[in-house]
Amino acid sequence: MSAGHVPGYAAQRERLEHYFDRTARHAWEQLTSDAPVGRVRRTVRAGRDAMRATILDWLPADMHGVRLLDAGCGTGALSVEAAHRGADVTAVDVASGLVNVARDRAPGFAAPGRIDWRVADMADPSLGEFDHVVAMDSLIHYPLDAIAAVVASLASRTRRSIILTFAPRTPALAAMHAVGRLFPNAKRAPGLEPMAEQALRGALSTVRGWDAGRTQRISSGFYTSQALELVRRG
């Protein structure tokens, strides 16, 4: 089943687009810059910086001639760093506002690689084929069946590795998730979908020709996310 046909996938994608374009664009632009932020957002910024560094460590140091899909690129920090390594990056996000911020921040930077900024669904087959795919904190709002469908779609068009992050099911994260559902707020981001690592591994094990590789959890105050690498067999 394609991602677009998984129940709830399209509706959640539209909620994310609406939230990041109309509610959180300024806050996200500030969070991903060097601008001063409060204590809570500082922990989130530090966690995201650590996660991005981890993912970049898992990618080749020399990416000349390598095609990378930054699936859910946000304001583009990972895309820019990959392009500086020589990668040919396709950077996509459903939120046009975030893509515009990314494009404005890097209008003509000097790098051996290049970036094609696009407003698109990360699972759109028309994006083409890639050597590596990164989905950093872009699947954490989707349920397990949707994540599996997106990864299966990407795997069919990826030659070497897929790196995704998920919200690990921990007591603290589950409690925050429950409280968020008890007290909904129109300005709050669409809820996370905490999940057990073994459940995710089980769902992804059905993607033929791929094996789970490295994993790393990053916890920094109000930021908790876990990276999981999938590598093509053989």
Instruction: Output the CA torsion sign for 226, 55, 231, 125.
Output: positive
What is the C-alpha separation between 141 and 122, in angstroms, rounded?
14
Q: Report the alpha-carbon distance of residue 27 to residue 1 in Å, rounded.
A: 35
Which residue, among 209, 194, 217, 219, has the nearest Cα to 139 in the 3D structure?
A: 194
Please give the pLDDT value at position 183.
40
Across the 234 residues of the chain, what is the mean pLDDT of every consecutive 10-residue run? 74 92 91 95 97 98 97 97 96 97 84 94 96 97 95 97 94 58 52 93 96 97 96 92
For residue 144, give the nearest of 234, 205, 91 by alpha carbon. Answer: 205
d(CA 51, CA 183): 29
pLDDT of residue 8: 78
Token pair recorded at residue 172: 């603290």
In this structure, the number of other CB atoms found within 10 A of the CB of residue 228 comes to: 21
Q: Is there a contact between 98 and 74 (Cβ–Cβ < 8 Å)?
A: yes
Helix orientation angle between 39-58 and 77-84, rounded to the nearest 10 degrees: 30
Query: How many whole angstroms separate alpha carbon 218 and alpha carbon 49?
Result: 10
Looking at residue 3, its pLDDT comes to 73
Cα 130 from chain centre: 16
pLDDT of residue 182: 39
